[in-house]
């Protein structure tokens, strides 16, 4: 199996006396699609924020190799800017020379026609598509997705999986977090998060 | 117990944290961030509406309703009292009142709305320092433009001795309340609380310094109010066409103080948590 590009080592997180994560340990090799499932309040988003570097853990380490893409559960965009301006802003953030990959993803998710629309005028589903595009436009080596298809219609949901398969084929380690997976067979590895620890439930 | 977390996201995070040899790249990112910060400010329809409607209306109402009887205003530069037309100084204070409210509101709402987006940008590799500089540049440009607009509209109601010095006073007031808005925007958790603080501070600050509204407007306590320095500049420019040096320094101190407080909190909130291992 390929070497791990993301390793969580004994991650713990507490808010005062409230323990959210106790001992989360797992590794994700390049070119794999991994799902983390858990009930509401199990600490899934907390775990993802720690993996992304948005939140500091109370204990443990995250070891990551290569560029990270992070798509938070909530759509985090700027209402005053257009879709194209968002891509330009993140192009500068990622130091990309062009937007070729972003345009490919937009075409796959079918929202190129909104390129010049201001975000405040977009539907929830289109905002979510942009939210996702911003996370993958730099061809990350590790991609963290928190409930990425919320608000997608069925067709877009299927296109999302096309994108996930494409990313995997490019050697990206894709970690999807959700409270519910309809298509468990799509994953190479599935983890269940409960009581602050993860357990492997399915192996490819 | 460990505490190390991953580095911020982004294809070139490692590059960005070690060294970025390209000055051009830094300038290009600064231009990009400044452009979008300005676009965001310009698209605040509420603030734009307030500028178009509230500013002339406020000047007009006060010009109409307030007496022209002379009042005394103590100029800090000389310590002497100027005898000024009550209506004129009220129109001038109306300008301060409008500017401080609108710029405070404008920057406060932009900072609040953009805070999570800024955090996402820094996670994606945008240098914090560049974002901070861009916000300051946008704030300075917006303050200069709004001060100019308020100065121009004021000409319809009163012609000051020096248009430029009054603009300078307005500019400093706008900067002080813009940086206050920035500070509150990154600090307070309740949106309403921030608005309330800006309105109350502006109201007390500009109202108490107007000798028509407050006959004891020469008390030393007023010197610790945020718009004291800029008001001194405005009155000096409005009635004498001089620029009081000490007042300019006081005005500048408020701007620097609020800016440092706000940017420190911004820095803290958008910082990457930890460092890359492996």
**Per-residue pLDDT tens for B38-83?**
999 999 999 999 999 999 999 999 888 887 777 877 776 666 777 8
pLDDT at B22: 67
Facing A56 at nearest CB: one of B5, B16, B29: B5
Residue-wise pLDDT for B169-179, tens only, equals: 999 999 999 99
Mark which residues 23-42 of A lie under 8 Å from B by CB.
none
Residue-wise pLDDT for A77-136, tens only, equals: 999 999 999 999 999 999 999 999 999 999 999 999 999 999 999 999 999 999 999 999
pLDDT at A14: 92
Phi, psi of B197 (to 5 degrees): -60, -45
Determine contact, residues B208/B225, Cβ cutoff 8 Å. Answer: yes
Facing B5 at nearest CB: one of A50, A80, A94: A50
Nearest CA in chain A to B277: A63
Residue-wise pLDDT for B3-35, tens only, equals: 434 444 443 333 344 444 567 788 899 999 999
Determine contact, residues A130/A77, Cβ cutoff 8 Å. Answer: yes
Q: Which residue has the higher pLDDT, A178 or A176?
A: A176
The C-alpha of A26 sits at a distance from chain B's nearest C-alpha, in angstroms, of 15
Q: Roughly what angle, to the nearest 10 degrees, separates helices A100-108 and A124-136?
A: 140
Whether A12 has a pLDDT exceeding 90, the answer reads yes
| Positive/negative CA dihedral, B136, B140, B141, B146 | positive
* Across B112-136, average pLDDT: 91
pLDDT at B18: 43
Name the pLDDT band for A63 (thresholds 50, 70, 90). Answer: very high
Contact yes or no for A72 and B33 at CB 8 A: no
Distances (CA, A) of A41 to A175, A183, A199, A201, B44: 19, 22, 17, 19, 36
Whether B2 has a pLDDT exceeding 50, the answer reads no
* Across B102-124, average pLDDT: 92
Facing B36 at nearest CB: one of A70, A89, A138: A89
Contact yes or no for B1 and A134 at CB 8 A: no
Contact yes or no for B10 and A51 at CB 8 A: no
What's this model's pTM, rounded to 2 decimal places? 0.85
Facing B12 at nearest CB: one of A51, A80, A94: A94
* Across B120-137, average pLDDT: 91
Facing B114 at nearest CB: one of A52, A78, A88: A78
Name the pLDDT band for A26 (thresholds 50, 70, 90). Answer: very high
Contact yes or no for B5 and A88 at CB 8 A: no
A67 and chain B in contact, CB less than 8 A = yes
Contact yes or no for A62 and B4 at CB 8 A: yes
A81 and chain B in contact, CB less than 8 A = yes
Whether A25 has a pLDDT exceeding 90, the answer reads yes
Name the pLDDT band for A183 (thresholds 50, 70, 90). Answer: confident
Tokens (6 digits) for A91: 């192009």
Of the given ranges (A28-37, A66-75, A145-154, B218-227), which has the lowest mean pLDDT?
B218-227
- Mean per-residue pLDDT over chain A, rounded: 91
ipTM score here?
A: 0.90
User: Between chain A and chain B, how many beta carbons pairs sit less than 8 Å apart?
Assistant: 130
CA B45 to chain centre: 18
């Amino acid at each position: 199996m390929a070497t791990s590009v993301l390793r969580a080592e004994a991650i713990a997180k507490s808010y005062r006396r409230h323990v959210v994560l106790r001992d989360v340990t797992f590794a994700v090799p390049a070119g794999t699609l991994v799902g983390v499932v858990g009930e509401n309040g199990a600490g899934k988003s907390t775990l993802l924020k720690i993996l992304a570097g948005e939140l500091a853990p109370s204990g443990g380490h995250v070891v990551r190799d290569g560029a990270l893409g992070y798509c938070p559960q909530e759509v985090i965009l700027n209402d005053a800017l257009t879709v194209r301006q968002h891509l330009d802003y993140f192009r500068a953030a990622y130091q990309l020379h062009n937007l070729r990959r972003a345009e490919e993803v937009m075409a796959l998710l079918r929202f190129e026609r909104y390129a010049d629309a201001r975000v405040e005028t977009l539907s929830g589903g289109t905002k979510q598509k942009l939210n996702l595009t911003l996370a993958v436009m730099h061809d990350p080596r590790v991609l963290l997705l928190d409930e990425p298809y919320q608000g997608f219609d069925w067709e877009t949901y299927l296109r999302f999986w096309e994108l996930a398969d494409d990313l995997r084929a490019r050697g990206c380690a894709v970690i999807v977090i959700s409270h519910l997976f309809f298509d468990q067979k799509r994953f190479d590895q599935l983890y269940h998060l409960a009581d602050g620890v993860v357990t492997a439930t399915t192996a490819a | 117990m460990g505490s190390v977390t991953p580095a911020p996201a982004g294809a070139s995070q490692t590059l960005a944290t070690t060294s970025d040899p390209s000055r051009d790249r830094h300038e290009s990112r600064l231009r990009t961030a400044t452009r979008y910060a300005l676009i965001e400010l310009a698209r605040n329809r509420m603030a734009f509406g307030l500028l178009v409607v509230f500013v002339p209306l406020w000047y007009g109402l006060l010009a109409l309703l307030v007496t022209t009887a002379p009042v005394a205003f103590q100029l800090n530069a000389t310590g002497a009292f100027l005898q000024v037309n009550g209506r004129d100084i009220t129109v001038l204070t109306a300008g301060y009142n409008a500017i401080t409210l609108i710029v405070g509101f404008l920057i406060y709402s932009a900072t609040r709305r953009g805070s999570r987006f800024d955090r996402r940008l820094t996670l994606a590799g945008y240098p914090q320092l560049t974002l901070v500089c861009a916000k300051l540049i946008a704030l300075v440009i917006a303050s200069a433009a709004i001060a100019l607009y308020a100065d121009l509209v004021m000409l319809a109601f009163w012609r000051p001795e020096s248009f430029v010095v009054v603009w300078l006073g307005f500019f400093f007031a706008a900067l002080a309340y813009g940086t206050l808005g920035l500070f509150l925007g990154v600090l307070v958790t309740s949106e309403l609380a921030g608005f309330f603080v800006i309105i109350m501070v502006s109201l007390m600050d500009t109202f108490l310094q107007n000798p028509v509204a407050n006959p004891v407007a020469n008390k030393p306590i007023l010197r610790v109010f945020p718009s004291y320095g800029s008001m001194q500049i405005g009155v000096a420019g409005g009635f004498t066409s001089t620029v009081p040096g000490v007042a300019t320094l006081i005005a500048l101190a408020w701007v620097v103080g609020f800016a440092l407080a706000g940017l420190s909190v911004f820095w803290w909130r958008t910082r990457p948590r930890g460092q890359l291992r492996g």
